[in-house]
């Protein structure tokens, strides 16, 4: 916590990109290096969370405690508790498997194979947590130019073909080859991978999953829909929450972060995402992006 006079003195002598804000996130003082990073950052200008997150090297001090701090601490505490809970499940199963290996007539080879899958599950969860954290802090850039969607969609679908065949799910691609999405290729790949993985995991055998990329008057649209079991009305509003799983998904091998990552990527690129469904009516996830 600093006062205004000390803030100005501090930023004047600071060689780092440092900005001091008041309780309403208005600029009080800014170093020369921070001005270079932010461009116009005159006193009184309000810096929102998105702008600060876009510059992870920027140092921020507050004249008084940031008003969002208690809420942030509560969110961080809840997220930490959720991660801990999710990690306990594969670790508990792993312990049971290892203990079972000492039992008479135990199939050690099969138990070790199951243990390997549990380790992979925990590793996937950790990877998703780290990736989501990078997205939220701005360390992982989402939008950087535009990417023609069709080649990426077809590439991802091809990589999921074996998994889809194993689950007896048919994949179809209906992509306008001229449509570009305001995402880096890697981010587009992340979105499509997570949506396809979700459909294959939950739609059910005999379903068809269709990936569409279309152009509308409002902007480009990416849609992934399936003809599967669908999602109940109680679960639908919470699909994009971290770690949320409906009754059908509680026994799945997913990390519970796939759709949360999709939402964060799409909204960070200026778009919006929604899901529609109903029991026996399949699930449709639509990502709409602004027209450029």
d(CA 20, CA 100): 58
Going from the C-alpha of 184 to that of each of 9, 209, 246, 292, the distances in angstroms are 41, 24, 31, 15
Please tell me the distance from the alpha carbon of residue 73 to that of residue 209, in angstroms, as a whole number: 40
Structural class in CATH, domain 147-288: alpha beta
Question: Of 124, 4, 126, 151, whose CA–CA distance to 63 is shortest?
Answer: 4
In this structure, the number of other CB atoms found within 10 A of the CB of residue 96 comes to 13
User: What residue has token string 């001005």?
Assistant: 35
Residue 72 pLDDT: 46
Residue ranges covered by each domain of the chain: 4-62, 73-137, 147-288
Distance CA 227, CA 168 (A): 13
Q: Which residues of the chain have pLDDT under 50?
A: 1, 65-69, 71-72, 74-75, 78, 247-252
Pairing between β-strand 220-226 and β-strand 208-215 as defined by DSSP bridges = antiparallel
* In contact, 184 and 147? CB cutoff 8 Å: yes
Which pLDDT belongs to residue 275? 93
Question: Contacts by 23-29 with C-beta closer than 8 Å and gap 24+?
Answer: 23/62, 23/63, 23/64, 23/65, 23/66, 23/67, 24/67, 25/66, 28/4, 28/63, 29/4
The torsion angles phi and psi of 140, rounded to 5 degrees, stand at: -105, 110
Query: ∠219-173-153 over CA atoms, to 5°?
Result: 70
Beta bridge partners of 172: 210
pLDDT 10s digits, 63-81: 654 444 454 454 455 455 5
What pLDDT is attached to residue 287? 96
What pLDDT is stored for residue 272 in this prediction?
Answer: 93
Give pLDDT, residue 284: 95
What is the rounded CA–CA span in Å between residue 73 and residue 96? 35
CATH classification for the domain delimited by 73-137, as one of 1.10.10, 1.10.287, 3.30.1950, 2.20.25: 1.10.287
Q: Do 188 and 155 touch, CB atoms closer than 8 A?
A: no
User: pTM for the whole thing?
Assistant: 0.57
């Amino acid at each position: 916590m600093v006062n205004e006079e000390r803030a100005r003195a501090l930023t004047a002598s600071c060689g780092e990109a440092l900005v001091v804000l008041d309780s309403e996130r208005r600029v009080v003082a800014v170093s020369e290096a921070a001005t270079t990073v932010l461009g116009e950052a005159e006193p009184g200008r309000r810096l929102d969370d998105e702008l600060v997150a876009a510059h992870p090297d920027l140092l921020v001090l507050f004249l008084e405690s940031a008003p969002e701090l208690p809420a942030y601490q509560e969110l961080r505490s809840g997220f930490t508790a959720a991660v801990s809970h999710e990690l306990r499940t594969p670790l508990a199963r792993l312990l049971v498997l290892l203990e079972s290996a000492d039992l008479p007539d135990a199939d050690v080879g099969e138990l070790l194979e199951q243990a390997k899958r549990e380790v992979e599950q925990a590793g996937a969860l950790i990877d998703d947590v780290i990736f989501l954290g990078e997205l939220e802090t701005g360390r992982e850039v989402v939008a950087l130019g535009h990417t023609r969607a069709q080649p990426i969609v077809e590439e991802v679908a091809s990589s999921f073909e074996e998994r889809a065949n194993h689950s007896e799910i048919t994949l179809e691609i209906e992509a306008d080859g001229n449509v570009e999405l305001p995402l880096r290729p890697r981010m587009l790949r992340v979105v499509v991978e997570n949506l396809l993985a979700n459909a294959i995991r939950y739609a059910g055998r005999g379903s068809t999953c269709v990936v569409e990329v279309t152009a509308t008057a409002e902007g480009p649209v990416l849609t992934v829909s399936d003809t599967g079991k669908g999602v109940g009305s109680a679960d639908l509003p919470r699909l994009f929450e971290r770690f949320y799983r409906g009754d059908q998904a509680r026994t799945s091998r997913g990390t519970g972060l796939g759709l949360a990552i999709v939402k964060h990527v799409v909204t960070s690129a200026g778009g919006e995402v929604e899901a529609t469904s109903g029991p026996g009516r399949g699930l449709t996830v639509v990502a709409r992006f602004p027209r450029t």
